[in-house]
A and B are shown apart, each in its own frame.
Chain A
Amino acid sequence: MDQLILASGESSAPNPLVPNITEMIVVLLGFLVLLFIVVKFVVPMFEKTFAERAEAIEGGIAKAEKAQAEATAALEEYKQQLTDARTEANRIREEARAEGAQILAELKEKAAAEAARLTEQAHAQIEAERQAAVVSLRSEVGSLATTLAGRIVGESLEDDARAGRVVDRFLADLETQSAGVAQ
């Protein structure tokens, strides 16, 4: 070793702690070049990728949350609408039922009134016809009976006063009889 050092012309033993200046310069320049490349290209590119990735993930989460919120809101709205529609349908059904009942009642009333009217009319007509019949019968029965009695008795019952009395009596009897029958 000593011979080698002597051969290379160095007078003292090499101290490993004494640096070689050229090496220092090379290391310094090499490191600064590397640092420049790292500052200028490597770190910005990696950081950009990291930021984009974080944004993509967070953006995706935000988007999903928004969609979730929208879906919930839509569901609420549909539920609300469904409830409204049900209430509306119930209301309409109730109204229709009430209306139907009212119409039915009105019709019944009208029919009853009509029936009453017809009955009344019929009663009046019957009464009138009866009266007419009574009047016509009274005169007809009187003359027929007089004629018949005159023929049977053979005497003239043309005497109006007497005939009138007889007829009246007869009719009174008749009425009494018919009243008894009616009872």
Chain B
Amino acid sequence: MHLPAILPWGAADGFSKQMLLVILSVVIIAAFFVAAARKGQLVPGKLQFAGESAYGFVRNGIAKDIIGGNDFIKYVPLLFSLFFFILVNNIYGAVPVLQLPSFSHVGGAYVLAALVYFTWIVIGVKKNGLKYFKLAVVPSGVPWYILPIVIPIEIISNFVVRPVTHSLRLFATMLAGHLIVMIAGSGIDFLLAQENWLLKGTSVLVLAGAVAMYMLEALIMVLQAYVFTLLTAIYIEGALHADSH
């Protein structure tokens, strides 16, 4: 699933529109937040207030609420970067002309999920030592005769399935949304090209449906960015407090 590259133009492999958009997202996010945070006034202006609200949403709404404790601030940069990186790259899908959510290409989702996967494992091992793997797969308070069943399930769910679902959830929702909008667009195009006026007329219905789907897609774009970040915070919290789970 890969569009022809734009550099060199039309090549099967090369610098694609998706890559350009990813780089653009980094520039947009960095420029906005550096500009918002730079002045650091006690009484914020409009730009600073917007930046602080966005930052505070991830800092307090996700990092502080989920991870908590005194050192949640250590994980704020990762969660903050993840949320806005995914958010902006998803919103591309709702912007005319750009119209391509970067994570409808699975590679980006794999990269981020893998990054998070290794991050929480490293955090868990750092915090609890190698005992962490035992803590992560042997739930406390379970009778010994159930353990042979529970341990394999825990291993599979925590260390195998978790990164896969983490990445595919993001990728699949973005791809599906992208496809639906695309299909609706081609459908309208196809119906309008018909000779029969009744068939032509039904394109209006498809258009109405497409607009509704577009709105739903816009909601899902924001929601998935939030879900990805929230799950990351939950994984980190689980790694930090493995001994109490």
Residues on A close to B: CB < 8 A?
Answer: 8-10, 14-24, 26-28, 30-31, 33-35, 37-39, 41-43, 45-50, 52-53, 56
Contacts and interface: CB of A to CB of B under 8 A. Distances in A.
A14 B88 CA distance: 27
Interface stretch (B35-43, B200-208, B210-218, B232-240): B35-43
B34 A49 contact: no
B112 A14 contact: no
A28 B111 contact: yes
Interface stretch (B15-23, B123-131, B152-160): B15-23
Contact of A34 (B19, B29, B108, B175): B29
Nearest to B32: A42
B76 interface: yes
Interface string B1-22: 1101000000011111011001
Given A16-B1, A20-B105, A46 B51 contact: yes
A45 B37 contact: yes
Contact of B23 (A30, A35, A37, A41): A30
19 contacts: A8-B12, A14-B2, A20-B13, A22-B16, A23-B22, A23-B108, A26-B23, A27-B102, A30-B26, A34-B26, A38-B33, A42-B34, A45-B34, A45-B38, A46-B59, A49-B52, A50-B52, A53-B42, A56-B42
Contacts of B19: 22-23, 26
A49 B26 contact: no
Contacts of A17: 106, 168
A46 B81 CA distance: 14
A38 B36 CA distance: 12
Contacts of A41: 34, 37
A140 B149 CA distance: 167
B81 A31 contact: yes
B73 A47 contact: yes
B22 A26 contact: yes
- Tell which of A16, A17, A30, A53 has the most Cβ of chain B within 10 Å: A30
A49 B168 CA distance: 38
A18 B2 CA distance: 10
A35 B29 CA distance: 11
Given A14-B2, A35-B78, A43-B76, A19 B33 contact: no
B37 A19 contact: no
Contact of B175 (A16, A18, A43): A16
Contact of A23 (B38, B52, B80, B107): B107
B55 interface: yes
Given A10-B12, A20-B105, 17 more contacts: A8-B4, A8-B12, A16-B106, A19-B105, A22-B14, A23-B16, A27-B22, A27-B107, A30-B22, A31-B112, A34-B30, A35-B77, A38-B30, A41-B37, A46-B37, A46-B55, A53-B42
